[in-house]
Amino acid sequence: MLDVLIAGAGPAGSIAAWTAARAGARVLIVDRDTFPRDKLCGDTLNPGAIGLLHAMGLGDGLAALGRPIAGMVVSGAGVAVRARYAAERSGLAVTRKVLDAWLLERAIAAGADYVAIGPIYATGTKPTAKPVTLEYVRWAAANVKIPWFAIGGINLQTIDAVLEAGAKRVCVVSAILNAADAAKACAEFRHRLS
């Protein structure tokens, strides 16, 4: 039984999952991107964000993730505005790749029950999502220590490659719903998984 489904394993989703899991909820985190991932936006934490993470109990080890910064520069179209943080306050330069992975690990450590990895392949149920490929399945097999499910575009032609990449569990929608014989398709998926 699932209590909470979190869509997105970035900072907001991972913190929501961490909070819900610490409160005893059974949590599923799903994200359409590969983790760890590089993401251009948000490679810094301002003093307010750092204070919030500390107040929530997520501050331990945070400083080791990046470098302290004394202010920020906002730029665009040939204009730059520089601002320094108030005395005794600093921000943290930390890449989203590092921060996202660190927060997701905290959510898992707090008791998030399992995660979904995908979409592995292009799928009609998520037409705008970029496939994360089998490389992400390999990463999950090596790094995710709680149950996880490969999802997205998996069918009877692709499942063997997904399993060979390290998946033990899959979520399948279209390949069953669009099958001429759904029961036979389910039986074949079960056979391949056993």
- CA dist 147 and 47 (Å) reads 35
How many angstroms separate the CA atoms of 166 and 152, rounded?
15
* pLDDT, position 35: 64
In the prediction, which pLDDT does 157 show? Answer: 96
Residue 81 has what pLDDT?
93
pTM value > 0.85: no
pLDDT (tens digit per residue) in 68-78: 999 988 888 99
Q: What pLDDT, on the 0 to 100 scale, is given for residue 117? A: 79
Query: Where do the H-state alpha helices sit in 24-158?
Result: 47-55, 96-110, 133-143
What pLDDT was estimated at residue 92?
Answer: 94
What are the E-state strand segments in 20-169?
A: 27-31, 44-45, 67-69, 71-76, 79-84, 91-93, 114-117, 148-151
Q: What pLDDT sits at residue 1?
A: 63
For residue 43, what is the enclosing H or E element? none
> Do residues 42 and 66 make contact, with C-beta atoms less than 8 angstroms apart?
no
Q: Which residue type, as a one-letter code, is found at position 37?
A: R
Q: Tell me which residues of the chain have a pLDDT lower than 50.
A: none
Q: In this predicted structure, what is the pLDDT of residue 155?
A: 93
In this prediction, residue 40 carries a pLDDT of 64
Task: Encode pLDDT of 13-23 as tens digits.
Answer: 888 888 888 88
Regarding beta strands 170-171 and 91-93, do their DSSP bridges make them parallel or antiparallel, or are they unpaired? unpaired
